[in-house]
Structure 1
Amino acid sequence: MHALVRSVWNEPRPPNPPARGWRDRALVVVLVTVTVLEGVMRPDLHWRAVSVTITAGLVLTLLWRRSRPLLTVAIAFGVCALSPLVMNGDPLEMYTLVFLLLLSYALCRWGSGREVVIGLAIILVKVSDSMVSDHPGLPDVIGGWAVISVSIAAGGALRYRARARARELDKVKLLERVQLARDLHDTVAHHVSAMAIRAQAGLATSASHPDAATDALRVIEAEASRALAEMSTMVRVLRQNQPADREPGRRVTDLRELASRGRSGPAVDVEISGDVDDLPPSVEAAIYRLAQESITNARRHARHATRVEVRVTADDTSVRLRVTDDGDGGPAHPASRPGYGLIGMSERAGLLGGTCEAGPNPDRGWTVTAVLPRTGTAS
């Protein structure tokens, strides 16, 4: 019990309570009008002018019930408790005071933990004092506590519903950031690897082939431009505070752009078979990124590799990707030290309900196999 009270006491106020502007002002105008009409039309109302003035003044606290819930509760319930001092012992009996339920609701909806505890203590003292001094019957006592409890419970329920919604949004944002980080890793790693390999080839052949340096610079410039373009797209999404694009726009047919003749590094051969025209964008993007990362890993880690084969096969239910290299295996391969690349590939396939496996071939080389459902949804 002590731990529960302490956790509630330390609970922060919900962030950025929404402002309602004209709605709050309209509510105040309506309640002030109702207060005046009640003062005019109730013949049994004592201290008519004082009651109407106090009640109309308390209605104004509704304007700050979101930003200052404890202050509004303290003012409203405190004034109601002290009003008999200026009314010759008579309590404030305006029906319009039912709006105080909105203040108790607002306290539990937008107050911090300690504000809720203090505010509820104020409400408890005031309501208990009224029930003792007014001597109501048992049905009135039960009914009064039930109404107040409903308003408090409604505020608490919506408070925790909003917190659950905020946690869900945070989870979605985190997934978006992870996906952006994965795409950024795939893009930068692929292009930077190509630039590094071409630069090494240019340096190695510059003495015997002076034009090799020029060719290498052209390739490096093209790869750098592609990397910057894709990075700019991702950074623009983050800066504009918009939802991350879960479908980067790459298609299966774009895999042909990854093919190369092996002038520097292993040759990349791409073959696509089956119907890939109506695949969901998420599946096409995933196949492209998985193949891109597999080629990057082969260029980095497959020693003495001369060829990388990329095969994509689509049927009525699934799309299968197979990337094989003919390099030497051994401890240099990333499987002995899994990094963000292989982990990201497995996660990307899993998000779409598929699988991704990587391992050595029986003789030599390495194979990455990914199978994704054609619908792009987890079962």
Structure 2
Amino acid sequence: MTEAAAEPGHAQKVLTGPRSTGHAVLAAARAARAVTAARRWASRVPPVVRDSLLPALLLLNIVTTRAPRELPVAVALTAALALPLLWRRRAPLTVVGAVAGAAFVQWLLDVQLPADVALLVALYTAAAHSGRRGTLIAGAVVEAGVLLACLRWATEGAFLTPFVAVTATAVAATVLGVNVRTTRAYLAALEERAARLEREQEQQARLAVAEERTRITREMHDIVTHNLSVMVALTDAAVYAQHRAPHRTTTAMLQISETGRQALTDMRRSLGILRADEPDAQRHPLPGIAQLEALADQMGAAGLPTRLDVHGGHAHVPATAQLTVYRLVQEALTNTLKHTPAGTHATVRIRCSTGSVTVDVTDSGPRPPRPATAPTGHGIPGMRERAAAYGGTLRAGPLPGGGWGVHTRLVLDSAAAVPA
């Protein structure tokens, strides 16, 4: 009978436990939502309105709790203590001085008021908006007021306890204000750093775009100038030989066609590198030192006999450095083809070592005098840019024994080497 009677009570306790826990969780959730809503509402309220709430509450408390005969002095002192808080964000140290002065008058009149909390609010504001020196000054002023208040209003034999308690409250207000100031400065530093990083990323992106644009322009210049110069030379040779040697005309036209197809392939390859889904960039590798022999044959067919000497193995030379060597030789031979008379011979010497590649391109033809108003072109400046990408200095000019020469040395192990 006892067990049967106890069972319903036990069941009720088991059911009541989870139900009460659920009510507690719901209450906590409601409280959290209320606090969040209060914070959102407070953030929307103007600072002047928020700062006026405490003075209004203190004045209302004095009006409703003080006797009529004490009301004038109490209201005047409360107003002197609380109203300066309206300007605490604009001039925190001045507000500390004004509130401390009103508190000192209150101490002289021997009147205790709840509005003394304004000292703690002013101290917190000074710590949150002033530097270390201002915080120390405000803390010293408030601590002096705490000492005077405890000396006058503490009960006999109980000075230490209220003094320590009020001092701890003042220290807590100071620490809270310093933490707010530190957090604000930290967030401002983070925002400034993020803005600076964003500006740097934008600048780097613009520089990368400009560098890539320059690289593409230089590559297109080399491809178009060289192939068009070869095609023009072959066309002139075909026209000259069409009546005297027709078979040479056919050979020249076939070479023109091959040169045009090679130009299209080079352009498609160079532009295809910019697209990951372009298959031609993989089917046609970049030209390098191994393709210089074909380039020399092409220049010889265009009317510029070219001798090629390659010393040392070039298997260890990176593909981008080999492309630079190829373009330098191509541009130098193209300039020779364009600016020298018939019968000129060219020589290309490539010396490969472990850490460098030396390029020498010379010819035997004189250069015609350039008019003062003639444009300088982009050939030699582009060659200098390519050489500079591998730590080299390009020299181009007439040779002592006649002819023209181009010389540079590419440093392969340079940390500053960038794709040319």
What TM-score bracket applies, with the shorter chain setting the length? 0.5 to 0.7
Q: CA deviation at 1:315?
A: 2.9
Q: CA deviation at 1:266?
A: 1.4
Partner in structure 2 of residue 298 of structure 1? 336
Partner in structure 2 of residue 53 of structure 1? 37
Q: CA deviation at 1:346?
A: 1.0
Counting only pairs closer than 5 Å after superposition, residues 266-281 of structure 1 correspond to structure 2 as: 266-281=304-319
Counting only pairs closer than 5 Å after superposition, residues 260-271 of structure 1 correspond to structure 2 as: 260=297, 262-271=300-309
Aligned-CA RMSD value: 4.0
- 1:156 lines up with 2:204 in the alignment: no
Partner in structure 2 of residue 40 of structure 1? 28
- 1:230 lines up with 2:266 in the alignment: yes
Residues 333 and 309 (structure 1 numbering): CA distance in 2 closer, same or farther, change over 3 Å? farther
- 1:339 lines up with 2:377 in the alignment: yes
TM-score normalized with structure 1 length: 0.63
TM-score normalized with structure 2 length: 0.57
**Alpha-carbon separation, structure 2, partners of 1:296 and 1:173:** 28
Give deviations 1:158-197, integer Å, cap 9, x for gaps.
Answer: 1102211321232233222212221211111111111111
Partner in structure 2 of residue 221 of structure 1? 257
**Alpha-carbon separation, structure 2, partners of 1:332 and 1:303:** 15
Q: Which has the higher helix share?
A: 2
Counting only pairs closer than 5 Å after superposition, residues 310-329 of structure 1 correspond to structure 2 as: 310-329=348-367
**Alpha-carbon separation, structure 2, partners of 1:325 and 1:333:** 22
Partner in structure 1 of residue 403 of structure 2? 365
Which stretch shows the higher mean deviation, 248-257 or 131-140?
A: 131-140
Residues 176 and 39 (structure 1 numbering): CA distance in 2 closer, same or farther, change over 3 Å? farther
**Alpha-carbon separation, structure 2, partners of 1:127 and 1:39:** 37
Counting only pairs closer than 5 Å after superposition, residues 98-109 of structure 1 correspond to structure 2 as: none
Letter in 2 for 1:161: L
Residues 216 and 85 (structure 1 numbering): CA distance in 2 closer, same or farther, change over 3 Å? farther
Letter in 1 for 2:43: F
Name the structure, 1 or 2, with higher relative contact order (CA <8 Å, separation 6+): 1
Partner in structure 1 of residue 296 of structure 2? 259
Q: CA deviation at 1:340?
A: 0.9
Q: CA deviation at 1:332?
A: 4.3
Letter in 1 for 2:294: E
Residue aligned with 1:275, SS: coil
Partner in structure 2 of residue 183 of structure 1? 219
Q: CA deviation at 1:38?
A: 11
Q: How many residues align?
A: 283
**Alpha-carbon separation, structure 2, partners of 1:162 and 1:37:** 44
Give deviations 1:88-126, integer Å, cap 9, x for gaps.
Answer: x89xxxxxxxxxxxxxxxxxxxxxxxxxxxxxxxxxx99
Q: CA deviation at 1:344?
A: 0.8
**Alpha-carbon separation, structure 2, partners of 1:76 and 1:175:** 51
Letter in 2 for 1:194: V
Q: CA deviation at 1:277?
A: 1.9
Q: CA deviation at 1:257?
A: 0.9
- 1:198 lines up with 2:164 in the alignment: no
Select the residue among 321, 336, 343 that pairs with 1:283.
321
Q: CA deviation at 1:263?
A: 4.3
Residues 252 and 76 (structure 1 numbering): CA distance in 2 closer, same or farther, change over 3 Å? farther
**Alpha-carbon separation, structure 2, partners of 1:185 and 1:203:** 27
Residue aligned with 1:355, SS: coil
Contact conserved, 1:354 with 1:378, CA < 8 A, in 2? no
Residue aligned with 2:394, SS: strand
Which stretch shows the higher mean deviation, 282-291 or 138-147?
A: 138-147
Letter in 2 for 1:313: R
Letter in 2 for 1:199: T
**Alpha-carbon separation, structure 2, partners of 1:312 and 1:163:** 44
Q: CA deviation at 1:258?
A: 0.9
Contact conserved, 2:325 with 2:359, CA < 8 A, in 1? yes
- 1:128 lines up with 2:89 in the alignment: yes
Give deviations 1:336-375, integer Å, cap 9, x for gaps.
Answer: 8642110011111111011211111223211111111243
Contact conserved, 1:305 with 1:328, CA < 8 A, in 2? no
Give deviations 1:36-68, integer Å, cap 9, x for gaps.
Answer: 9898389xx8xx87544354xx4xxxxxxxxxx
Residues 294 and 156 (structure 1 numbering): CA distance in 2 closer, same or farther, change over 3 Å? same
- 1:309 lines up with 2:347 in the alignment: yes
Contact conserved, 1:193 with 1:300, CA < 8 A, in 2? yes
Letter in 1 for 2:89: S
Give deviations 1:262-315, integer Å, cap 9, x for gaps.
Answer: 344211221111122211222211111110111100000122343111111123
Partner in structure 2 of residue 22 of structure 1? none
Give 5+ residue unaligned stretches, structure 1: 1-35, 59-74, 91-124
Q: CA deviation at 1:328?
A: 1.7
Residues 264 and 162 (structure 1 numbering): CA distance in 2 closer, same or farther, change over 3 Å? closer
**Alpha-carbon separation, structure 2, partners of 1:303 and 1:358:** 19
**Alpha-carbon separation, structure 1, partners of 2:275 and 2:204:** 22
Q: CA deviation at 1:330?
A: 3.4
**Alpha-carbon separation, structure 2, partners of 1:320 and 1:204:** 38
Partner in structure 2 of residue 4 of structure 1? none
Give 5+ residue unaligned stretches, structure 2: 1-23, 58-85, 96-117, 128-173
